[in-house]
Amino acid sequence: MPEALTLSSLPLFPLGAVLYPGGLLPLRIFEVRYLDMIGKCYKTGAPFGVVSLTQGSEVRKADAGPTGDGFAAEEFNTVGTLATISSFSTPQPGLMVIRCAGAQRFEISSREKLKHGLWIADVTRLDNDQAVKVPDDLHGAANALGKLIKTLQEKGIPQDQMPLEPPFDLNDCGWVANRWCELLPMPLDLKQRLMELDSPLVRLELVAEILERTGIAM
């Protein structure tokens, strides 16, 4: 595996959410274990990794359980997405408000929890989705997303408050599928499985089935 495809000691942010490549993620940071990490990532322009939780909560909870550190156990999926900070503010001491963009997916090869609760991992970057044109039978999903974007724009919602940002690549299977996966109210484990799929076409086909069942795109 070429060295360029690996990252060592990547700081992780386990969340009750799935970040997709090209997606947006607003976060309010107040836990000590993340304040220093996010500050360093912002200053250096370095990414951090977002992984979805399978056990535990986003905020550490005291628990005299088997972990031995006085906090409840945390478990998370091994496939996540790199996040880069696009906006950063500190409205008050001990609080950071950031907006992140999803970049490349990765898979964890090894991980370690530091004494103050921050997880770091060695990861291998996964290939980006190949550009695949939306086929005719899936145009309904792309058209419905285009209508949603137009509606939000007509309402005068500022771009920095939009749930998705340009360029709006409505002709690309991966982009359309990823944006719907973020917007639709699906179980977390389903969002994770769709994110992990290697084929953007298959991902969009599955999303289109959900859209048809809900009557969003026919």
The CATH H-level (homologous superfamily) assignment of domain 3-125 is LON domain-like (2.30.130.40)
Is pLDDT at 23 greater than 50 in this prediction? yes
What residues does CATH 1.10.4060.10 cover in the chain? 136-214
Residue limits of CATH 2.30.130.40 in the chain: 3-125
Homologous superfamily (CATH) of 136-214 is: BPP1347 like domain (1.10.4060.10)
| Residue with tokens 């190949």, as numbered in its chain | 130
pLDDT confidence bin for 173, thresholds 50/70/90: very high
pTM (2 d.p.): 0.89
Long-range pairs for 88-96: beta carbons < 8 A, 24 or more residues apart:
88/42, 94/30, 94/35, 95/28, 95/29, 95/30, 96/27, 96/28, 96/29, 96/30, 96/35, 96/38, 96/39
Give the tokens for residue 167: 């360029």
Query: Is the predicted pLDDT of residue 164 greater than 80, yes or no?
Result: yes
Q: Is the peptide bond before 167 cis (omega within 30 degrees of 0)?
A: yes
The reported pLDDT for the residue numbered 3 is 45
With a cut of 60, say whether residue 211 has pLDDT above it. yes
Predicted local confidence at residue 82, as pLDDT = 98
* Alpha helix segments (H runs only) across the chain: 32-44, 139-154, 173-183, 188-196, 200-214
What is the rounded distance in angstroms from the CA atom of residue 21 to the CA atom of residue 179? 9
